């Protein structure tokens, strides 16, 4: 199979399918002008990024908007990717920062009594259109858990979401957030402690 | 396993990974009441968080999602920056400003001059000065006498020393 060296030293086979290429090779191809390569990257990350955004903000429509905006941000910033780190670390870092910035703005505007801006519009995404299984009535317990997670500080929320909700290994989370593994574990320890306190108050359980 | 080892294990494991603990952990939990309590609390928290995982989404939704992303990037070049955005605005803005400046000076400056100097024959303030004080200016240019110029333009002015300038010629 003939290969050629791309500008960043990444091997790209001339007859390689996009689905067989590494993330970094797809970035390289996108910068050369291939929107199809970016489409492949989007397919790989869309479900996880949507899920993380949903866990960070709590509603389907906002999660869709935020995660799609992140792909646009990534597309515009591709020239800044230095190929020294893994693409997935860079991607998730941008996603987390975008979600945290949104939650901070939302809290600030709620404080200023502009909360109607963040209420679902009449044309809101109907979750029954997108869920695989019929949407059972969300229990009070589930609402309380979601509220408790929402009350955590951004630093605690992001480690709880990435480790305990989305199942990322702690070493990967450390790489994504650019911190030592000890810091991740410390934040996780305090985040779990705070979550237990909040939930004990609401649910009288745990 | 000791209590410290148990705490390290809890700290290093995601809550979803506590459902099937290793045998040595199970043995320790049978013997240690406080670690057992802590383990049960961690399991309880894990179960609560598992109940609010993102629901499964229909496959067809993702086609629309992908289409949404691709339409957003359609009119964007990869790697475009804020500087590129400003460049696209800056050049037309500068051209518009230049054209406006030329139009404004040609059309409106004579009107401004008329308003200020009240005489249509003056097309610029320099013309005004030259015409009003032409005798003084030409004498100044011939004699290069700044005192004479001062006297002509400001006949009542005295010098800083308090004496009449005219008397100092």
Per-residue pLDDT tens digits for B108-160? 777 777 776 665 554 555 666 666 666 666 666 666 556 666 667 766 655 44
Which of the pair, B169 or A30, is modelled with greater confidence?
A: A30
Question: Which residue in this structure is represented by tokens 């939704």?
Answer: B61
Q: What band does A56 get if pLDDT is binned at 50, 70 and 90? A: very high
Using DSSP's 3-state secondary structure scheme, residue A105 falls into: helix
Supply the pLDDT for residue B164.
42
CB contact under 8 A, B56 and A77: no
Distance CA B146, CA B144 (A): 6
User: B14: which DSSP letter?
Assistant: -
Q: Which residues contact residue A199 at a Cβ distance below 8 angstroms, ignoring those fewer than 6 apart?
A: A144, A145, A148, A205, A206, B45, B48
Write down the ipTM of this complex. 0.79
Chain B CB within 8 Å of residue A85 CB: no
In this prediction, residues B55-71 reach a mean pLDDT of 88
Q: Nearest CA to CA, how far is B121 from chain A (Å)? A: 59
In this prediction, residues A188-193 reach a mean pLDDT of 96
CB contact under 8 A, B68 and A38: no
The two three-digit tokens of residue A117, written as one number:
């801006």
Most B-contacting residue of A46, A140, A142, A157 (CB-CB within 10 A), to test interface: A46
């Amino acid at each position: 199979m003939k290969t050629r060296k791309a500008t960043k030293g990444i091997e790209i086979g001339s007859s390689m399918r996009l689905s067989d290429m590494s993330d970094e090779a797809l970035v390289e191809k996108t910068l050369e002008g291939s929107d199809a390569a970016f489409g492949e990257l989007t397919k790989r990350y869309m479900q996880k990024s949507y899920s993380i955004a949903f866990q960070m903000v709590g509603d389907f429509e906002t999660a869709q908007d935020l995660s799609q905006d992140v792909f646009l941000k990534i597309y515009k910033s591709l020239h800044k990717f230095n190929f020294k780190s893994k693409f997935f670390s860079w991607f998730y870092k941008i996603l987390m920062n975008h979600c945290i910035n949104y939650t901070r703005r939302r809290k600030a505007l709620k404080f200023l009594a502009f909360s109607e801006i963040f209420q679902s519009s009449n044309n809101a995404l109907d979750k029954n259109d997108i869920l695989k299984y019929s949407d059972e009535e969300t229990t009070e317990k589930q609402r309380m858990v979601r509220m408790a997670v929402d009350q955590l500080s951004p630093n605690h929320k992001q480690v709880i979401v990435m480790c305990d909700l989305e199942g990322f290994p702690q070493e990967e989370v450390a790489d994504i957030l650019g911190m030592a593994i000890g810091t991740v574990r410390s934040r996780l320890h305090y985040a779990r402690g705070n979550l237990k306190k909040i939930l004990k108050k609401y649910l009288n359980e745990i | 396993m000791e209590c410290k080892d148990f705490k390290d294990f809890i700290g290093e494991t995601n809550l979803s990974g506590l459902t099937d603990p290793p045998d040595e952990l199970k043995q320790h939990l049978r013997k240690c009441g406080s670690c057992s309590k802590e383990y049960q609390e961690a399991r309880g928290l894990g179960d609560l968080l598992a109940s609010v995982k993102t629901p499964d989404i229909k496959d067809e939704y993702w086609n629309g999602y992908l289409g949404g992303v691709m339409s957003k990037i359609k009119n964007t070049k990869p790697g475009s920056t804020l500087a590129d955005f400003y460049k696209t605005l800056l050049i037309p803005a500068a051209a518009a400003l230049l054209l406006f400046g030329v139009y404004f000076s040609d059309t409106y400056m004579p009107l401004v001059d008329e308003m200020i100097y009240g005489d249509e024959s003056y097309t610029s303030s320099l013309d005004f000065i030259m015409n009003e004080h032409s005798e003084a200016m030409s004498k100044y240019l011939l004699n290069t006498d700044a005192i004479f110029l001062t006297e002509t333009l400001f006949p009542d002015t005295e010098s800083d020393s308090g004496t009449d300038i005219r008397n100092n010629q």
